[in-house]
Amino acid sequence: MAAQIANDLSFIPDMMNVHVRLVQCADILSSTAIVGEAEHILTGIFQEAEKRDGSSLIILDEIHLICPRRGGMGGSGSLGVDQLAGTLLALLDGIGSSSSQSNNVKSSEGGRGLVVLAITTDPSLLDPALRRPGRLDVEVEVPVPDDNARAEILRFHISQLMTAQQASEVDITALAKIAKGFTGADCKLAVKEAVRNYLSRTQHIDEKKSEQQNSLIPIEYTDLEHAIRITKPSAIKSVAVEVPKVPWSAIGGMDDVKALLKESIELPSTHPHLFEMMRVPPPKGILLYGPPGCSKTLMARAIATEGNMNFLAVKGPELLSKWLGESERALASLFRRARLASPSVIFFDEMDAIASKRGGGGGGGDRLLSQLLTELDGVTSGGNSSTSDGRKGRVIVVGATNRPDVLDPALTRPGRMDRMIHVGLPDEKGRQGIFKIGLSGKDCHEDVDVSWCSY
């Protein structure tokens, strides 16, 4: 992204004579082994930019590497990084001070000036002194694209490969809705994957035909759809799991449970106007409870398959760590990634491991539960509501447990885990459906009666 900003400044008016300097902070950080070398390099960059005639723009990519939070529990070399951060803060405070004293007339008439543009993936890692007014005055968040923005990105990349007749507007809009949580780089990767699928299917391209079509590859809509479905959003790539494809038809019986899950998860995403019209907020969380072996986890797999939402599955004990604060940090990171890739579903299997009643003597478990309750209160509930940055998104939490009696009452109150669904033993009709699914595709004797086996 920094390279694109450095190469294209058309969004800034009257800046045709701007000198742009792209600085990789990782290169400066590698010089901290020699005392004073990194500070000397950073100071030279600012001095060179201020001496130039006209305006200058310095782009600091990954600025959190050279200006992290000071005074933390850093390893070896943390003192050098703190000194480097102090040098950066002093340079930001001194921007324009020398030129304003000696070249007041030229600065006001000629428009001389130095602007610093910093880029980071996590602003919480930055030192608070860097973000105060007078240094980095304006903070602009670049969010994950919404459906309309993803459609424009896909339209641009597809236009490089397909003709206008092949890539219709309806197809691009449908593809953008499938690509939930995709960034611009994810969309580009999906288009490349579609090209690879086409080449692997055809094995070769007729050169004469390619010349007649101006080297445009005639990839099909099915190639693009398949590529998007197998491409994971980069925001949740480290926590997303491979979930087996389980349609609702693969679950025998449980019609009432299926209807409740569809109403709670799928309906707010497909028909958000109904909830807005009735002014009823959809549930934030769903708790599946019941005896072991009653297809609670299978229901979660069906949600991931049929819900058309990003699915993040985690077992409760996986979040537990012996290091103080590490479990809470992992849980907060999980919810942050889910919000970035919204709409998404977070599934907690064995939820009683992290949400048992407080006061039992386990300080670590109590802190983790408090963090979970805080995250549930911050989850965006509406299928068409806006997040803090004005974007539309939805995150829903689904938990499964066979011991609902040990859960903390604060978890199951309205506004957190709004709906508790009992997944009990199947009735006679449900047992018939399970036997039919299990015996489908198998050679059975003619005297096998499924209805008799379900009694």
CB contact at 8 A, 251 and 197: no
Check whether 96 has a pLDDT greater than 70. Answer: no
Check whether 9 has a pLDDT greater than 50. Answer: no
Check whether 33 has a pLDDT greater than 60. Answer: yes
Q: Distance (Å, rounded) from C-alpha 441 to C-alpha 445?
A: 13
Res 103: pLDDT:
40
Fold assignment, 147-231: Helicase, Ruva Protein; domain 3 (1.10.8)
Domain positions in the chain? 2-131, 147-231, 248-422
Question: CATH for 2-131?
Answer: 3.40.50.300
Res 380: pLDDT:
45
Res 119: pLDDT:
92
Cβ neighbours of 446 (radius 10 Å): 5
Q: How confident is the model at residue 117 (pLDDT cuts 50, 70, 90)?
A: very high
Same topology, domains 147-231 and 248-422? Answer is: no
Please say whether the dihedral angle defined by the alpha carbons of residues 325, 143, 154 and 379, taken in this order, is positive or negative. positive
Res 338: pLDDT:
83
Q: Which residue has the higher pLDDT, 21 or 77?
A: 21
- Residues 317-359 have pLDDT tens digits of 777 777 877 888 888 888 888 887 777 888 888 888 888 887 7
CB contact set of 380 (below 8 Å; sequence gap of 6+): 339, 342, 386, 387, 393, 394, 395
DSSP letter at 323 equals: S
Per CATH, the architecture of 248-422 is what? Answer: 3-Layer(aba) Sandwich (3.40)
Q: Which residue has the higher pLDDT, 431 or 448?
A: 431
Res 268: pLDDT:
81
Q: What mean pLDDT comes out for the span 273-281? A: 83
- Residues 120-158 have pLDDT tens digits of 988 888 888 998 888 888 888 888 888 888 888 888 888
Q: Which residue has the higher pLDDT, 208 or 371?
A: 371
CA nearest 227: which of 251, 259, 195, 254?
A: 195
Res 208: pLDDT:
44
Q: What mean pLDDT comes out for the span 70-95? A: 74
Q: Distance (Å, rounded) from C-alpha 85 to C-alpha 66?
A: 6
CB contact at 8 A, 376 and 328: no
Res 438: pLDDT:
76
Q: Which of 268-277, 295-304, 371-380, 383-392 is least confident?
A: 383-392
Q: Distance (Å, rounded) from C-alpha 92 to C-alpha 136?
A: 8
